[in-house]
Amino acid sequence: MGTFVPGTSAEQDQMLREAGYKNFDSLFADVPEEVRMKDLPEIPSGKSEMETYEDLRGIASRNKVYRTILRGAGAYDHYIPSIVDRIASKETLVTAYTPYQAEMSQGVLQQIFEYQSMICALTGMDVSNASVYDGATAAAEGVMMCLERKRNKILVSGCIDPRIISVIRTYAHGRGAEIEIIPEREGRTDLEQLGTLADSETAAVLLAQPNYFGIIEEAEEAGYIIHAAGAKFVLYCEPISLGLLKTPAALGADIAVGEGQPLGIPLSFGGPFLGYMASKAALMRKLPGRIVGETTDSSGRRAFALTLQAREQHIRREKASSNICSNEALCTLRAAVYMSAVGPQGLREVAVQCSSKAHYLAKKLAEAGLNLAYEKPFFCEFVTEGEKSGEILEALSNNGILGGLSLENGRILWCATEKCIAAELDRAAEIVKEVLR
Amino acid sequence: MKLLNEESVKGRSLSLIGKCDVEEYIPYSRFLRDEVPELPQVSEVTLSRHFSALERRSHGVNNGFYPLGSCTMKYNPAVDEEIAAFEGFTGAHPLQDDSEVQGSLQVIKDLEDRLSAITGMDAFTLQPAAGAHGEFTGLLMIKAYLESIGETERNKIIVPDSAHGTNPASAAMAGFNIVNVPSGPDGCVDLEALRQAVGSDVAGLMLTNPNTVGLFDKNILEITRIIHEAGGLCYYDGANLNAVMGIVRPGDMGFDVMHLNLHKTFAAPHGGGGPGSGPVGCKEFLAEFLPGSHVEEKDGALVRVRPAKSIGDMRSFDGNFLVAVKALSYIWMLGAEGVKEASQNAVLNANYMRVKLSDIYTPAYDTTCMHEFVLNLQKLKAETGCSALDAAKGLIDYGIHPPTMYFPLIVHEALMIEPTETETKETLDEAINALREIYDKAYNDPEYLKEAPHSTVIGRPDEVAAARHPIVHW
Amino acid sequence: MCLIPENLKYTATHEWVEELEDGRVKIGLTDYAQKELSDIVYVNLPEVEDEFEAGSEMADVESVKAVSTIYCPVSGKVAEINEELYDAPEKVNEAPYEAWLVILEDVSMTDGLLDNYEYAKVIEEEKD
């Protein structure tokens, strides 16, 4: 059996004696006899490290891992620079707790401060928190923080990932907030409908940029409509695209949220991921989660510390805007290393390649007989419509390519990233052509 | 030290991805940003050294003792990290067909089964990403259950006054009103006050046991009975499960739904604040309300199934999967005997330290503790002017991370010490000596202690200035 | 020693009330309260036109490690808020009787307020 208890039985006996206890059982005298376990829990005996390693390697190998991935829909296969893994494996940074003790946590605090700075640079916002669980919870927290006594309605674009909408519905049911979906029109949020729905009871409106179908929204125009109704504009932005696209701040958003996974975090069957949240200065005190601030120490040296803590659950308790405590700090480290490794031009280059390759794939698929569902500008994802979607995806899989995500009515949501080489995109299109022949 | 942005030199970069092998094509110029984002421009060696310096300015379990009460800072096994980095786990897309991710589904199923056995629950979800997220999940399940039986007038959640702040915050997010019940002089729930607080409007109770002062509430069966008889449900906050694995199960104590912290009890590392994982377990009658998907065996294969009356989704996909992998690896290694041994030694280590300190420091409750204990430093403060904060900061100069301070709120000048089972007797003895020296220092040289720590890269930060005029980015 | 000016009215929850000539009232935090709270880092004020019953929660003040509720001493509608405090919360510490929080109009329910002697007694009892 494996164990991480270092004490020998002689040491344990000695400690029991010195603490005044006869045996281990006497330490648990307060546990009522009738519920004290007579037997060990019904799980197998312990294994050695070697057995555990080998057996779990066997289990891991039962997952099919693709070299070419043309599926995104919330989890994206980007190149991860080696330096990201190297730095994110540093034992102290991996095993440290939340940096409540500033004097011995300057490293973790500075790293989070740097992450916040990069998120602000990316989004154009004034303040970023130290992360929430993932993009969907960032979206949910983002709209919930806008609720006011007289504004209890949230409008959510129908062109948002249905998984995000599901999370928002779950969160809203708790608070008793009302959710309405703004209909989709030709792949974009219907702004006319937005104008009708947004009113004096609307707290926040959520759009995605690019949206679930990959299409770039007329977000600036949406912002005018939202603000005219006195509501807050929450924009869910894919972070790689921000190397290229207008910032949420420039588009008029009050709050920017999104999934930070594309920034150096592996697919990992969906987690851990990274929810980023940033806002305009006016909303800083409503932003949930931890925030690191810069200050000075007793002798005037630059110091970092968790700040604005009176917003948080450990002080404000039931009046806090969120209950979040643990976040995704180690993923902020990955994102910060990623962003500084690629740098501003590098991020732009990744974005350019994603978009160019997606357009190349779309062109090749059209030649193969799969047509674009919407004639709208898109970033690195797009929807096709046509016959035989099941057979297409199966044929691709048999050839080692993870095809797009099957949507309803034979539609497929495709994605290309900088990792997809032209020859593989050609091969994918050939396979599709073969199926449709 | 400098920020990365201050080490940035225009034009520096790494060579990471090759030239684009298709035609560059960006047919939407009016949507483009005017300038590239102001990210650092650095070389790889700068990055390497910068983060090495940040690592040196931090404290992890690898650096020294970390007796942070209620956080269970046990050693994080090296092999867990290697296993979680297997390509089969890190390379799987969450939206692959079930048939292609049988390995991931097996991890989820196996972990759910083992957590059920350890806790006495019937079903689990791994979707919640942290403990607080698990609390929120469990409370939404209680709410959904009460709605399903038409008892929507039940809108009160009872929380002891010693509870962690996430409990009332989670209950508020789930739309409940919070009723605080006081603790008795013994640190446990005041049964009389509890009886008076329950009624036809009670939805449930949230409780840790051992509780936040480190004591096992021996009235636990009476407590859960009072709630059940009033028609409420009992929620177990698993933050302190490390004391009682293999000793007693929440499911047998009368709890209906609970969460665990894989990043505490099951040795997944804290990562400087996360990622965690907060699986939620429940009794059979609540299983149909679980969020996300449940892994079941069907025709010899594992499949994801949505529970019939699911509360929905707490986040995208199936949870912090890699954290679950680490927890499973840990449980496999420990096995049935190992989990019990872990709890026994966590409790032994805490009591050993408590007894060895109680002649000079005042335990808040002078009785057998579980995995942690609370000291009350009011007397020290009155006599020397040195507070719990000063004593805690003094420990830093011994290379020991301070205990949790000023929590729970019902103990004044509190220091909450949780040694965990993975520390050697030598480490415990060194910490005991350090705390004894600090005690002497408070009487001999209080000013020195009030200025502690003396050995760190900064002294105490000006938190007032930080909060009054926040500087939150470069 | 805490200042308790005799021209003001008080509450047992440590707010002061100044009755203005136009019938409106000015509300702030007492010297005793600001000392107990120590360094105030933020003041959360209500919005103009918000209406409050006497004794209901109206605002809160934050120190680094605590948050304290401010109760409305009388019933009324918010006419003005002291926005200066958003950028300079330290004024509540420096000059508690100048750093008012809100001005209320349509005021009623002023009967329960304490005079300076009664308030001094409240503080004495709290210290014991």
Q: What range defines the domain where residue C58 resides?
A: 9-123
Tokens of B126: 């791994």
The residue-averaged pLDDT of B25-35 equals: 94
Rg (CA), chain A: 25
Answer yes or no: is pLDDT of C127 > 80.
Answer: no
Query: CB–CB of B468 and C65 under 8 A?
Result: no
Count of pairs with CB atoms under 8 A, one residue in A, one in C = 18
Quick one: which of B271, B319, B274 has its CA closest to A327? B274
- CB of A137 within 8 Å of a chain B CB? The answer is yes
> Cα(A339)–Cα(A193) distance, rounded to whole angstroms?
37
DSSP letter assigned to residue A44: P
Residues A58-93: pLDDT tens digits?
999 999 999 999 999 999 999 999 999 999 999 999
In a domain, C80, yes or no: yes
Task: Encode B168-197: b = buried (16+ Cβ within 10 Å), e = exposed.
Answer: bbbbbbbbbebbbbebeeebbbbeebbeeb
DSSP letter assigned to residue A103: G
> Cα(A112)–Cα(A293) distance, rounded to whole angstroms?
9
Containing A432, the helix (H) or strand (E) segment is: helix A422-436
Tokens of B66: 């970390």
Q: How near does any CA of chain A get to the CA of B356, in Å?
A: 7
Tokens of B125: 């979800």
Containing B189, the helix (H) or strand (E) segment is: none
Task: Encode B88-110: b = buried (16+ Cβ within 10 Å), e = exposed.
Answer: bbbbbbbbbebebbbbbbbbbbb
Contacts of A33 (CB under 8 A, 6+ apart): none
Determine the 3-state secondary structure of A424 from DSSP: helix
Containing A276, the helix (H) or strand (E) segment is: strand A275-279
Question: What are all long-range contacts of B307-312, with beta carbons under 8 Å and residues at least 24 apart?
Answer: B309/B144, B309/B148, B311/A170, B311/A173, B311/B137, B311/B140, B311/B141, B311/B143, B311/B144, B312/A166, B312/A167, B312/A169, B312/A170, B312/A173
Residues A349-406: pLDDT tens digits?
999 999 999 999 999 999 999 999 999 999 999 999 999 999 999 999 999 999 999 9
Of the pLDDT bands very low, low, confident and very high (cuts 50, 70, 90), residue B408 is: confident
Chain B positions touching A215 (Cβ under 8 A) are none
Chain C positions touching B461 (Cβ under 8 A) are none
Q: Architecture of A68-78+344-436 per CATH?
A: Alpha-Beta Complex (3.90)
Query: CB–CB of C41 and B464 under 8 A?
Result: yes
Cα A105 to Cα A127, B68, B114, B445, B474: the distances in Å are: 21, 14, 35, 26, 19
Residue with tokens 């919005």: C47
Chain A positions touching B295 (Cβ under 8 A) are none
CA angle A393, A399, A401 (to 5 degrees): 60
Contacts of B236 (CB under 8 A, 6+ apart): B207, B208, B209, B250, B253, B255, B257, B258, B259
Question: Does residue B80 contact residue A382 with C-beta atoms inside 8 Å?
Answer: no
Chain B positions touching C89 (Cβ under 8 A) are 468
Containing A91, the helix (H) or strand (E) segment is: helix A91-95
Could you tell me which chains touch chain C, where touching means 3 or more CB pairs under 8 A?
A, B
Q: How near does any CA of chain A get to the CA of B324, in Å?
A: 10
DSSP letter assigned to residue B285: G
Residues 16-45 (C) with a CB less than 8 A from some CB of A: 41-42, 44
Of the pLDDT bands very low, low, confident and very high (cuts 50, 70, 90), residue A1 is: low
Predicted confidence at residue C65, as pLDDT, reads 83
The dihedrals phi and psi of A229, each to the nearest 5 degrees, come to -85, 0
Q: How near does any CA of chain C get to the CA of B465, in Å?
A: 8
Residue B455 CB neighbour total at 10 angstroms: 11
DSSP-H helix ranges across B215-365: 220-229, 321-357
Q: Which residue of A has its CA nearest to C68?
A: A316
Selected residue of B389, B412, B464 to mutate for chain C interface (largest C Cβ count, 10 A): B464
Question: How many domains does chain C divide into?
Answer: 1
Tokens of B401: 């991370």
Q: How many residues does chain A have?
A: 437
Containing B30, the helix (H) or strand (E) segment is: none
Residues C84-107: pLDDT tens digits?
999 999 999 999 999 999 999 999
Cα A147 to Cα A143, A205, A311, C2: the distances in Å are: 7, 11, 15, 39
Selected residue of A151, A283, A309 to mutate for chain C interface (largest C Cβ count, 10 A): A309
DSSP letter assigned to residue A2: -
Residues B163-202: pLDDT tens digits?
999 999 999 999 999 999 999 999 999 999 999 999 999 9
> Cα(B453)–Cα(B450) distance, rounded to whole angstroms?
8
Predicted confidence at residue B144, as pLDDT, reads 98
Q: How near does any CA of chain A get to the CA of C65, in Å?
A: 6
Predicted confidence at residue C2, as pLDDT, reads 87
Answer yes or no: is pLDDT of C112 > 70.
Answer: yes
Residues A274-332: pLDDT tens digits?
999 999 999 999 999 999 999 999 999 999 999 999 888 888 888 888 999 999 999 99
Chain B positions touching C42 (Cβ under 8 A) are 467-468
Q: How many residues does chain B have?
A: 474
The domain defined by B341-450 carries CATH number 2.40.37.10? no
In a domain, C1, yes or no: no
**CATH annotation of B79-334:** 3.40.640.10
Tokens of B228: 């059940």
Chain C positions touching B464 (Cβ under 8 A) are 39, 41, 64
Task: Encode A310-323: b = buried (16+ Cβ within 10 Å), e = exposed.
Answer: bbbbbbbbbbbbbb
Chain C positions touching A316 (Cβ under 8 A) are 67
DSSP letter assigned to residue B178: E
Answer yes or no: is pLDDT of A429 > 80.
Answer: yes
Predicted confidence at residue C1, as pLDDT, reads 74
In sequence order, what are the beta bridge partners of C27?
Answer: C17, C102
List strands edge to edge, sheet with B156-160. Answer: B123-125, B280-282, B257-259, B233-237, B202-207, B156-160, B177-181
Residues B269-317: pLDDT tens digits?
999 999 999 999 999 999 999 999 999 999 999 999 999 999 999 999 9
Tokens of B46: 């700068």
Chain C positions touching A315 (Cβ under 8 A) are 65-67
Query: CB–CB of A285 and C41 under 8 A?
Result: no
The residue-averaged pLDDT of B189-216 equals: 96
The residue-averaged pLDDT of A220-240 equals: 98
Residues 363-402 (A) with a CB less than 8 A from some CB of B: 377, 397, 402
- CB of C62 within 8 Å of a chain A CB? The answer is yes
Q: How near does any CA of chain C get to the CA of A180, in Å?
A: 27
Query: CB–CB of A319 and C67 under 8 A?
Result: yes
Show me where the domains of chain B are located: 4-56, 79-334, 341-450
Answer yes or no: is pLDDT of B226 > 70.
Answer: yes
| Dihedral Cα A388, A391, A392, A397, nearest 10 deg | 160
Show me where the domains of chain A are located: 68-78+344-436, 82-337
Contacts of C1 (CB under 8 A, 6+ apart): none
Residues 298-357 (A) with a CB less than 8 A from some CB of B: 298-299, 301-305, 307-310, 312-320, 322-331, 333, 336-337, 339-350, 352-353, 355-357
Could you tell me which chains touch chain A, where touching means 3 or more CB pairs under 8 A?
B, C
The residue-averaged pLDDT of B56-81 equals: 97
Question: Does residue B35 contact residue A124 with C-beta atoms inside 8 Å?
Answer: no
Quick one: which of C41, A57, A243 has its CA closest to B26? A243
Answer yes or no: is pLDDT of C113 > 80.
Answer: yes
Chain B positions touching A57 (Cβ under 8 A) are 83, 86, 88
Determine the 3-state secondary structure of B258 from DSSP: strand
DSSP letter assigned to residue A246: P
In sequence order, what are the beta bridge partners of B302?
Answer: B297
Predicted confidence at residue C76, as pLDDT, reads 95
Interstrand relation of B202-207 and B233-237 (parallel, antiparallel or unpaired): parallel
**Mean pLDDT score across all residues of chain C:** 93
| Dihedral Cα A149, A153, A154, A155, nearest 10 deg | -150
Q: Which residue of C has its CA nearest to B409?
A: C66
Secondary structure percentages of chain C, helix, strand, coil, to 5: 20, 35, 40
Chain C positions touching B463 (Cβ under 8 A) are 64
Domain A82-337, CATH among 3.10.20.30, 3.40.50.300, 3.40.640.10, 3.40.50.1400: 3.40.640.10
Answer yes or no: is pLDDT of A149 > 90.
Answer: no
Question: Does residue A233 contact residue A254 with C-beta atoms inside 8 Å?
Answer: yes
Q: What is the 3-state secondary structure (H, E, C) of B130-163?
A: CHHHHHHHHHHHHHHHHHHCCCCCCCEEEEECCC
Which residue in A308, A310, A319 is closest to C66 by CB distance?
A310
Of the pLDDT bands very low, low, confident and very high (cuts 50, 70, 90), residue C111 is: confident
Question: Does residue A329 contact residue B274 with C-beta atoms inside 8 Å?
Answer: yes
Residues 179-198 (A) with a CB less than 8 A from some CB of B: none
Domain containing residue C51: CATH number: 2.40.50.100
Query: CB–CB of B468 and C62 under 8 A?
Result: no
Q: Which residue of B has its CA nearest to C86?
A: B468
Instruction: Give A8-29 as a DSSP string.
Output: -HHHHHHHHHHHT-SSHHHHTT
> Cα(B96)–Cα(B106) distance, rounded to whole angstroms?
15
CA angle B305, B306, B312 (to 5 degrees): 155
> Cα(C96)–Cα(C119) distance, rounded to whole angstroms?
16
> Cα(B413)–Cα(B396) distance, rounded to whole angstroms?
18
